[in-house]
Amino acid sequence: MINRSLTIVNVVSYACMGGADRLALDLSIGLREKGHRVIWAAPASCQMNGEAREGNVEIFDLEPSHTGASALDQLLKICKSEAVDIVNTHDSPARHLLLLARLRGLRSKIVFTRHCILSGLPYVSAFYFNLVDMNIAVSNVIKKSLLRGGILPGRAVMVYGGIDINKFRTVSAERVANVRNKYCRPGTFNIGIVARFSGGKHFRPDNPSMKGHEFLFRALSDFPGDFNVLVLGVWGDRDIDNLKSVAEYNGLSPAALTFCDFQNDIAPFYKIMDLNVLPSRNEGLGLTLIESMAAGVPCIGADSGGIREIIDDGANGFLFAPGDSNALAEKILTIREDAKIRDRFIRNGKEKVARLFDIERTVRETEKIFYGLVAR
């Protein structure tokens, strides 16, 4: 049985603004706190580099072009010179880099952490995924998709993606007040949606969005009373203007939307929400639902993918048929009007997050997988 500390490289990409990057960083910090040496290999522009340093995680500047020869040479050099045991990544561009590194003779164990449901033709992606030592799925639905796609059972495991619960459970009153004063109107029912949006090169307001913003907008087009939609995860004038067009196309005035910019610290925003909605048709897990439950916010999610592994319909939140905006509107109204249901969802949501989605559990189970790979 191996009980020594490991040297782990976590390869991330781009500006590091998504939920997968957040989990990668929290996991890196957690493994570092357990005594392992963790190297955060990321572009200098990564938004999370400062947090990594604060968590005593080493930083290695990796050029942004993950498929370039220079990045490949950089990675091979550090893995050899530092006797790296495990190389882990959570995103697609870095997976391509690690596959090239394996073909170039990388001896470190390679782990892909998968956050999205595997799609496409069965067995096509599996050829590549079976070249690595382990694929960690962050939900059961993702693991099942990997196995259906032809990934060998011995190369696919499930470890729920977790969060730092305390970060969302307790937020200073001053931080919450600052956010509330900036983004809310007194007495307004605040509905949050924390989700990326991109109109792509050929934007049309009638095109379906990746996270299903249009379903929420349609549900609110005739919604009674005063409400405010807090939009997080969308930034940049182009995407904001495009999302306003999506709202108008679906009958909702853009004046009902409050864009909250990109936020490194999202915890105070959950504290000003009366409800959080994730209408995605094909979600691998849904960290925003887990975060909001930890913060004490009732949730509604589309009955799809990993969302149904978080929300137990009627017990700790509501599910609605994907795309059914009328059903979504009814459930939003129920949560606004029924205090008993809100309280039940809040209580049961906190309990489930503490039981299944604590980052300490994720770190512990991931560490066991890493030790098992090194022992082979």
- Which of 359, 352, 191 lies closest to 279, judged by CA? 191
- Looking at the fold, whether 263 and 225 belong to one and the same domain comes out as yes
* CA 304 to chain CA centroid, nearest Å: 16
Domain annotation covers residue 240: yes
Cβ–Cβ under 8 Å, residues 155 and 376: no
Do residues 150 and 45 share a domain?
Answer: yes
Q: Which residues of the chain have pLDDT under 50?
A: 66-67
CATH code of the domain in which 149 resides = 3.40.50.2000
Q: In terms of Cα–Cα distance, which of 43, 44, 25 is closest to 265?
A: 25
Specify whether 119 is located in the same domain as 266.
no
**Domain shared by 78 and 149, yes or no:** yes
Q: What is the pLDDT of residue 331?
A: 98
Residue 129: the pLDDT is 84
Pairing of strands 299-302, 318-320: parallel
**Cα-Cα end-to-end distance for the chain:** 11
> Residue 239 has which token pair?
């995407």
Q: Based on the domain organization, do 129 and 254 belong to the same domain?
A: no
Q: Is residue 197 part of a domain?
A: yes
The number of folded domains in the chain is 2
Q: Give the alpha-carbon dihedral of 252, 208, 189, 18, to 10 degrees.
A: -140
In a shared domain, residues 321 and 250: yes
32 shares its domain with 66: yes
Q: Are residues 209 and 271 in the same domain?
A: yes
User: CA geometry: angle at 340 spanning 337 and 342, to 5°?
Assistant: 70
Residue 66 is predicted with a pLDDT of 46
Does a structural domain hold residue 1? no
Residues 352, 365 within the same domain? no
Q: What are phi and psi for residue 33, nearest 5 degrees?
A: -65, -20
- In angstroms, the CA 277 to CA 296 distance is 14
Report yes or no on 299 lying in a domain. Answer: yes
| 195 shares a domain with 156 | no
Q: Is residue 2 part of a domain?
A: no
In this structure, the answer to whether residues 263 and 302 fall within a common structural domain is: yes
- Which structural domain, as residue segments, surrounds residue 239? 165-356
Q: Which candidate, 358, 343, 194, places its Cα nearest to that of 268? A: 194
Q: Are residues 217 and 251 in the same domain?
A: yes
Is the whole-model pTM more than 0.75?
yes
Parallel, antiparallel, or unpaired: how do β-strands 257-259 and 86-89 relate? unpaired
At 14 the pLDDT is 67
Rg value, the chain, Cα: 21
At residue 27, the pLDDT reads 97
Q: How far apart are CA 139 and CA 20, in angstroms?
A: 13
The answer as to whether 39 is a domain residue is: yes
User: What is the pLDDT at residue 29?
Assistant: 97
Report the C-alpha gap between 295 and 286 in whole angstroms. Answer: 15
What secondary structure, in 3-state letters, does the chain show?
A: CCCCCCEEEEECCCCCCCHHHHHHHHHHHHHHHCCCEEEEEECCCCCCHHHHHHCCCEEEECCCCCCCHHHHHHHHHHHHHCCCCEEEECCHHHHHHHHHHHHCCCCCEEEEEECCCCCCCCCCCHHHHCCCCEEEECCHHHHHHHHHCCCCHHHEEECCCCECHHHHHCCCHHHHHHHHHHHCCCCCEEEEEECCCCCCCCCCCCCCCCCCHHHHHHHCCCCCCCEEEEEECCCCHHHHHHHHHHHHHCCCCHHHEEECCCCCCCHHHHCCCCEEEECCCCCCCCHHHHHHHHHCCCEEEECCCCHHHHCCECCCEEEECCCCHHHHHHHHHHHHHCHHHHHHHHHHHHHHHHHHCEHHHHHHHHHHHHHHHHHC
Is residue 234 one of the residues assigned to a domain? yes
Report d(CA 176, CA 47) in Å as an integer.
22
b/e sequence 134-144, b meaning 16+ C-beta within 10 Å:
bbbbbbebbbe
